[in-house]
Amino acid sequence: MINSLSDTVELNNGTKIPGLGLGVFQISEKDTPSVVKNAIVNGYRLIDTAAIYGNEIGTGKGIKGGLKAANLSREDLFITSKYGITTSLTTKQSLNSMPVLTGLI
C-alpha cells in the first residue's frame, strides 16, 4: 500500500520505483519549471510527462533545478514519458527528447 512519497512498488526485475509521482499534464510551460523543482525538493522522485503536453523544456529545467536544490543526482529520479498514435513523434525523436527532460541541455 502506498501511504507516502517514499513508498515504492517492486517490479518483476527487482527494481523499486516510487509509488507516487508528479504528472505535468495541463501545467503550463511557464509554470512547469517551478512546479517540478518544488516537487523534487519536497520528496517526489518520479516525474511523468509526455511530448504532447508541450512542456518538456520546462520539465527539464525543473528537473535540473530540483536535483541541484535537493542535492540529488539524475539516478535518484524516475522520469516517464510517452507518445501515442496521435502524435507525429517517432521512437527516435521521443528518445532524443530525454536530454531535454533530464535538464542535460
- 3-state SS, residue 53: helix
Q: Whole-angstrom Cα distance, residue 34 to residue 87? A: 27
Can you read off the three cell numbers belonging to residue 71?
Answer: 542535492
Type of residue found at 54: G
Candidates 80, 65, 1, 72; CA nearest to 34 is 65
- Catalytic-role residue among 53, 59, 61, 101: 53
53 part of the active site: yes
- Which active-site residues does the annotation give? 53
